[in-house]
Amino acid sequence: MTTRRALLASALAAPALPRTVRAQADARPVLRIAVQALPPTLEPLESISNVGLRVSYNVFDTLWRRDFRAESAEGGQRLTPFLATALEQRDPLTWVATLRRDVRMHDDTMFGPADVLSTFSAERMWGPQVQTFEGRVNFGHLAGVEAEGADKVVFRTRTPDPVMPQRLAAYGGWIHSARAYAESGRDGLRRQPVGSGPYRVASFQRDQRAVLDSHDAYWQGRPPAKQVVFTVVPEASSRLAGLQAGDFDLVTNLLPEQIEGLAGNPTLEGVDVALDFAHILYYDTRQPALRDARVRRALNHAVDTELLGRALWGAAFKPMPALQIPAFGDLYDAQRRGFTFDPDRSRRLLAEAGYRGEELTIRIAPGYYLQMLQAVQIVQQMWTTVGVRTRLETRENLSLLTQPGADIRPTSIAFRFPDPLGGGLAVHLAEDYSLQKNGFWQPVRFNALVRELRLATAPAERRRVWLALLDEFEAEAPALILYPVREYFAKRRAINWMHYPLYYMDFRATNLSFS
């Protein structure tokens, strides 16, 4: 095996290839996008958020790739080669990726094993002192990553992993330049990361603007836009006004009624996208009034989630009775009803648990999650009808939500890849994620079932454990599933572009063109 140190030394010593000279007359357009916010850093593991993924997906590539366009046309799950041309499982604990030899990074070095080893290093992903929690979420089960010759990388896992290809195509698998990382480290990734994606970072002003220039030497062909500019415009009405005035070409995070107002517009259109995302309210089970699972089940049965969803998201809304998506395939439990709306049952459970009208504090950051303020206000009214008193607190940002003093808080659930191990119960509510890490919930059997699911490989066994995990969630009721999230955006009709069911924005030539 070639050592990581030798590969890195080779990458650092290799001369940079000459930059491709751009034609002086570049007729490609600048794509101007108004967003509600930008991430505080461009380090790809630190910017995993609904506002950060939009940038990361254009700066970086992954070894394997989820083909969302094929899934949209054909259904099911579709994975394809990307920076790797092949992925082989040699034994239950060993995966071997064969790398492309024709990929140029943004710093003009040629992509190779050193970049993969630098990306999946112990310090970033799987060692005892990982830099970022998100690094451990998908790849904390790695035991080692080694180069094999000039074009192969071997991934060794501590336990069998039936979803390794999905992991390599999902969050955290973005390959950065080994040379750039060696020269500028984590701070460089935060300010001006270097990947192999279709656009390179030209400038980044936190809370203001991110400018991406075309990576003309991109291995899939020259990108269709010469530049992509993300501008922060916090108010949805201002973003839409900017689009109508011609200041922007595409605007994100609108309200349903705002895109409805564009119906019939000859040059602009509103688009509604169902996302592999959910919003939930989670309970602090340390609080005296919420320690009894019967109270938490009562709160869930008191909420008419179908009425809530239709009120906020319109007639196209479809409820999410459990934290799962149809793309789970054979693991998806289509018959699962979850917490049905049953106020009488809610009142009985409250009485059995001895609830005596204690006031519950709900704390949210209204401007971050679309529709959250309205959702909580509706939920409060529904809880009032069964005799539960609540008080709403607001904070400016998410970092303030977890401070002591609240009983109920919101968070989002992303299904990073279409499997129970890609998001939801086995990730966001698991023992190594923030909800449990912060002490909000101390499960009874839940964590043991998650561990069992991670180790299961046979399809029948995986389904058995997954259904048991859904049952345990309903028994302990640590959270209320509000709804699957929809994204509403508006753009110029001349922009031919598809929004995927995650917060990615893909501006490669395979997904973007201009009429």
Separation CA 213–CA 58 (nearest Å): 10
Separation CA 142–CA 146 (nearest Å): 11
Fold annotation for 274-486: Dipeptide-binding Protein; domain 3 (3.10.105)
Which regions of 148-300 does DSSP assign to beta strands (E)?
Answer: 152-157, 199-205, 209-214, 227-232, 250-251, 268-283
pLDDT band at 23 (very low <50, low <70, confident <90, very high): very low
Separation CA 275–CA 371 (nearest Å): 15
Show the DSSP H helices in 302-427 as ranges. 305-313, 343-353, 372-385
**Between 406 and 10, where is the model more confident?**
406
pLDDT tens by residue, 229-282 = 999 999 999 999 999 999 999 999 998 889 999 999 999 999 999 899 999 999
Range with top average pLDDT, 18-32, 412-426, 464-478: 464-478
pLDDT tens by residue, 160-213 = 999 999 999 999 999 999 999 999 999 999 999 999 999 999 999 999 999 999
pLDDT band at 318 (very low <50, low <70, confident <90, very high): confident
pLDDT at 301: 98
Architecture of domain 4-15+27-233: 3-Layer(aba) Sandwich (3.40)
H or E, element range at 366: none
Please state the domain extents for the chain. 4-15+27-233, 274-486
Which regions of 67-119 does DSSP assign to beta strands (E)?
Answer: 79-81, 84-91, 94-99
pLDDT above 90 for 452: yes
**SS3 category, 195:** coil
Which regions of 299-451 does DSSP assign to beta strands (E)?
Answer: 360-364, 390-394, 408-414
Q: At what angle do helices 343-353 and 293-301 cross, to 10 degrees?
A: 160
pLDDT tens by residue, 342-368 = 999 999 999 999 999 999 999 999 877
CA dihedral 141, 144, 145, 147 (to 10 degrees): -160
The CA-based angle 172-174-179, given to 5 degrees, is: 125
pLDDT above 60 for 19: no
DSSP 110: B
pLDDT at 434: 86
